[in-house]
Each structure stands twice: as structure tokens, then as C-alpha cells.
């Protein structure tokens, strides 16, 4: 569901703005001055919508349109080809997305989870801590989109009346105002170059951000190193990783049990592997299995079954003891599983991991063979040693996904103490948002749908290709209308079902 506080803030803010605007326009004292102030600054207000328009960037657009005309001709022709291909590709993508959404609505299969698009709602499935990334990346993508339209229009001798920025509810965007008379008298091919320029520039921005994301380790190499572990940048307060012997910002995690961690990807894969494999055991000296520990530190406690069928043997509710199971060494033919409640940190710190007693081979010259003891935990619960030198192991007991969500990590380790831990994280996260949002704008605006670039792209394409086949202009417009109707229905179905999937679940 949509968070009530967010809804109250958004609705209250817009109601206050619209109420103030209405009162000033109704005031006989302030109306003329207020309307003049709005007009002089290019501002327009309406319910849940505010926009600002200016001509200050017209000279910049004209300058860009004069740079290397031949290269720009090839550039915008490439955009024309991309726009036509993207229009077809967007329909295919939305059709497949709709099929996946319908499949997810009718089944709980994990295979169809996490494959939805058009479902980004601030405060719902977008963390509030990343709202700044989202809105800045969305605004940048919109500005680059409109820059493409403006430069392409000036190249085709179409006047640009102005450039502007708007906010609709909470979503920012940009627009250019083109002189429609000039636009209507140029050829369909010229129109297509203008209409395709927006999605083309979004695609180029997406590729550029993706390239920067992959080359970021190279660019930051003089200041940050990678491959030496996963650097902790944030620990959720009160989580399993918090505390005096937990993780802290600046710690470098180099291993989870016997799984080496060289970066964030290794951290995720190690946790996934540990959650899907049986609990790791630890080699301890057989002499350490003292009778007092085997009986609850001197108490007459015995192993008992939990509700899920697993065994427990610690009845003192200690935060430092844990129940371990091991095979009784008395008689190979009568070997049975026994349980011991032991001080966990003392027993497993610095010990070798094992799966059976055979892994605990005696080390020369005088070491005795060890016993493989395994934490006896509830189903899906794991005991994990987190290596983060020079500190002692952090010991974690719980579901591995909880550990993954408890800390934020990065691959980039500062070479100098004065460097900020969050700089690479900021650049990496921002590039990811630009890739996602700019790519999404390219896809959505390519859809042959009313009020989107796809409408004008489709109309210009039909005029450029069907003139000799369908000579009647009204028939061409009728074909375009039905294609736009189908595209609009497809996009509306994706958005409606996507929003339902997010808010209902």
C-alpha cells in the first residue's frame, strides 16, 4: 500500500499551492500583480502540475545545431533508424511484460517474480533514502531527451519557442515548445528525425552511463582499490550486524566461513551458497567436549526437540552458548549423534571448517585428531563467521538474507584516509538510476501511444512509407488511429496491472 504519511504530504502540499494560487487570482488587490509575476517568469500552475518555460537556452540550442553539420546529419539519421526499431521493440517488450504480469497474478511461482516494469512509486517500492537519485536521474534524462528534440528541430529549420521544466504530482520532467507551423510544412522524413531524436538521446545517455558504470573502477583506481574485500559503508541500527562485536562502517569483509569475499558480488553469492547448503561444521579438539559442557554447563539438561523437529540442548538462554551436535567417538558400530552446549566464540574462533570427522585430520607433530561439531539450529537458520580483519570474527545466527539486508557494502576501498567512503557508492548508484530511467524513457516514449513521442513517430512513419500504397490521407490517418489505440491500450494495461501488483502486494 502507498504510505499514508507520503500521501498526506503530497496531497497537502499541492492543496496548499493550488489554494494560494486560487486566492491570489480571486483577489482584486493582488490578481494583476500576481498574474504579471507568473507571466514574467514563465510559470503556469494547475492542479497537481506546475511548469516553467524560458527562452534563455535558445542560443545554446542554436549553437549546438551548427556544430559539424555532416556529422549531425549522420547522427540524427542514426536516431531515425533507432526510433523506428525502438517503436517495434517497445511493443514487443510491453507485450511480454504484460504476459509476465498476468502469469504472476495467476501463480506464486518464484520464476516470474521480479520481472515487472513501469512499477516505480516513490515511497512504495523505491527506498526513501534513494529518492534524490531517482528524481535527479529522471530530470537529467528528461532534459537530454528534450535537448535532442530541440537541436534536431533547429537543424530542420523548425523554430524553438522555448524550453521548460515541469513537475506533475511528484515526477519532474522537461519539454520544448516547437513552432507547429514550421513543423507541419517539412517532409515526413524530417519530422521523423525530430520526433525520434528524443528517444535516441535517451538511448545514448543510457549507454554512456552504462559504460561509466563498468569503467568506474578504472577511473577511481588512483583513489580507490577493488578486489580486496567488501567495504562496509552502513550498518542498520539494531540489526544482527550491529553491536560491539558486529560490523562497523569502514570494516572490510574478506570472508564468510570458508567462502572468500573479494567484493559485493562475492558477498551475495557466498550468502546464497551458505543458505542453500547444509550448516558448516568446525573442527575442535576432542578433549574440549567436556562432560560439563555436554550437560548444559553442569546442569542435568538433555537435548530436546524444537517444534520444527530440530534439536536443542542449551536451556540457559545464554547469548554466548550454542548447541552443537557431533558423532559419538565410542565404537564405530554404535556411533550416534550427541549434543553439547558450548561457549560458541571460544569453540569456533580460528578453527577449521569441516563436514565430517574425516576432515579434522591431526596436524603433525603431536596434535590429536579433532571432532567435527555442527551447530544444531532451526531449519533455514545458519551460523556464519564473518571475517573482517584485523578484528575478531563477527558471529551471526539467523537467516542469511537478514545479514545481507543489515549492511550496505561497496567494492571500492579508499587508498587514503581523507577519502569519503560514500563517493563511489554515490557515483555507482546514480549511474544505475540513469541507466534504468533513461532506458525506460526511451522505451515508453517509443510506444505508439496517444500524447507520447510514439504518436508523432508513427504518424510521420506512415506518411513517409504509405503514401504510394494508401493514397487516401483519411485512410492513412484511420490506420494510424487504430494502431495508436492498440498501443495506448497495451501501455495502459501494463501501467494499471503493474501499479496493482505493487500496491496490492
Residues catalogued as catalytic: 146
Distances (CA, A) of 224 to 168, 247, 280, 423, 497: 40, 21, 34, 10, 43
Q: What distance in Å separates the CA atoms of residue 104 and residue 108, rounded to the nearest whole number?
A: 6
Residues 6+ apart with CB under 8 A from 315: 296, 299, 301, 341
Residue with cell 523506428: 84
Q: What distance in Å separates the CA atoms of residue 505 and residue 503, rounded to the nearest whole number?
A: 6
DSSP 105-165: HH---GGGTT---S---BTTTB-GGGHHHHHHHHHHHHHHHHHHHHHHHHHTT--EEEEEE
Q: What distance in Å separates the CA atoms of residue 290 and residue 304, rounded to the nearest whole number?
A: 19
Residues 6+ apart with CB under 8 A from 1: 124, 503
Tell me the Ramachandran region of residue 317: left when phi exceeds 0, alpha when psi lies from -120 to 50, beta otherwise: left
Residues 6+ apart with CB under 8 A from 386: 241, 247, 253, 255, 256, 393, 394, 395, 396, 403
3-state class percentages of the chain: helix first, strand second, coil last, to nearest 5: 50, 20, 30
Q: What distance in Å separates the CA atoms of residue 60 and residue 163, rounded to the nearest whole number?
A: 11
SS (H, E, C) 245-284: CCCCCCCEECEECCEECCCHHHHHHHHHHHHHCCCCEEEE
Q: What distance in Å separates the CA atoms of residue 328 and residue 368, rounded to the nearest whole number?
A: 16
Residue with cell 576432542: 286
Q: Which three cell numbers stand for residue 8?
A: 498526506
Amino acid at each position: 500500500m502507498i504510505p499514508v504519511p507520503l500521501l498526506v504530504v503530497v496531497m497537502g502540499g499541492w492543496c496548499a499551492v493550488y489554494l494560494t494560487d486560487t486566492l491570489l487570482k480571486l483577489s482584486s488587490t493582488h490578481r494583476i500583480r500576481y498574474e504579471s509575476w507568473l507571466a514574467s517568469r514563465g510559470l503556469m500552475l494547475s492542479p497537481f502540475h506546475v511548469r516553467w518555460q524560458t527562452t534563455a537556452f535558445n542560443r545554446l540550442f542554436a549553437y549546438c545545431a551548427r556544430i559539424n553539420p555532416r556529422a549531425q546529419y549522420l547522427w540524427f539519421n542514426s536516431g531515425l533508424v533507432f526510433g523506428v526499431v525502438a517503436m517495434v521493440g517497445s511493443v514487443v517488450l510491453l507485450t511480454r511484460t504484460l504476459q509476465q504480469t498476468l502469469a504472476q497474478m495467476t501463480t506464486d511461482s518464484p520464476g516470474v517474480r521480479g520481472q515487472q516494469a513501469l512499477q516505480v512509486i516513490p515511497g512504495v517500492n523505491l527506498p526513501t533514502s534513494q529518492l534524490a537519485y531517482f528524481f535527479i536521474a529522471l530530470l537529467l534524462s528528461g532534459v537530454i531527451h528534450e535537448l535532442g528534440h530541440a537541436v534536431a528541430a533547429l537543424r530542420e529549420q523548425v523554430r524553438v519557442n522555448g524550453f521548460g521544466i515541469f513537475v506533475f504530482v511528484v515526477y519532474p520532467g522537461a519539454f520544448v515548445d516547437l513552432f507547429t507551423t514550421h513543423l507541419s510544412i517539412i517532409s515526413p522524413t524530417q519530422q521523423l528525425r525530430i520526433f525520434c531524436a528524443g528517444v535516441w538521446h535517451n538511448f545514448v545517455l543510457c549507454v554512456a552511463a552504462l559504460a561509466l558504470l563498468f569503467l568506474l573502477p578504472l577511473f577511481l583506481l588512483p583513489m580507490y582499490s577493488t578486489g580486496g574485500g567488501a567495504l562496509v559503508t552502513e550498518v542498520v541500527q539494531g540489526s544482527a550486524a550491529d553491536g560491539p562485536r558486529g560490523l562497523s562502517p569502514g570494516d572490510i569483509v574478506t570472508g564468510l566461513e570458508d567462502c572468500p569475499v573479494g567484493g559485493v558480488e562475492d558477498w551475495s553469492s557466498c550468502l546464497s551458497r551458505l543458505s542453500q547448503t547444509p550448516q558448516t561444521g568446525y573442527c575442535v579438539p576432542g578433549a574440549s567436549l567436556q562432560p560439563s559442557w555436554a550437560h548444559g554447563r553442569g546442569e542435568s539438561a538433555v537435548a530436546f526437540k524444537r517444534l520444527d523437529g530440530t534439536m536443542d540442548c542449551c536451556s540457559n538462554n545464554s547469548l554466548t552458548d550454542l548447541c552443537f551436535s557431533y558423532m559419538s567417538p565410542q565404537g564405530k558400530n554404535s556411533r550416534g549423534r550427541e549434543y553439547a552446549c558450548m561457549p560458541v566464540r571460544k569453540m569456533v574462533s580460528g578453527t577449521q571448517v569441516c563436514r565430517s570427522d574425516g576432515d579434522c585430520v591431526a596436524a603433525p607433530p603431536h596434535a590429536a585428531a579433532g571432532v567435527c561439531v555442527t551447530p544444531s539450529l532451526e531449519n533455514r537458520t545458519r551460523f556464519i563467521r564473518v571475517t573482517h580483519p584485523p578484528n575478531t570474527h563477527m558471529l551471526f545466527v539467523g537467516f542469511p538474507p537478514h545479514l545481507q539486508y543489515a549492511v550496505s557494502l561497496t567494492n571500492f576501498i579508499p587508498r587514503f584516509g581523507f577519502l569519503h567512503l560514500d563517493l563511489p557508492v554515490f557515483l555507482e548508484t546514480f549511474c544505475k538510476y540513469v541507466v534504468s530511467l533513461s532506458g525506460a524513457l526511451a522505451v515508453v516514449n517509443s510506444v505508439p501511444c496517444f500524447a507520447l513521442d510514439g504518436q508523432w513517430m508513427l504518424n510521420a512513419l506512415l506518411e513517409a512509407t504509405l503514401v504510394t500504397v494508401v493514397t487516401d490521407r483519411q485512410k492513412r490517418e484511420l490506420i494510424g488511429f487504430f494502431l495508436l489505440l492498440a498501443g495506448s491500450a497495451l501501455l495502459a494495461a501494463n501501467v494499471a496491472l503493474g501499479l496493482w501488483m505493487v500496491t496490492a502486494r
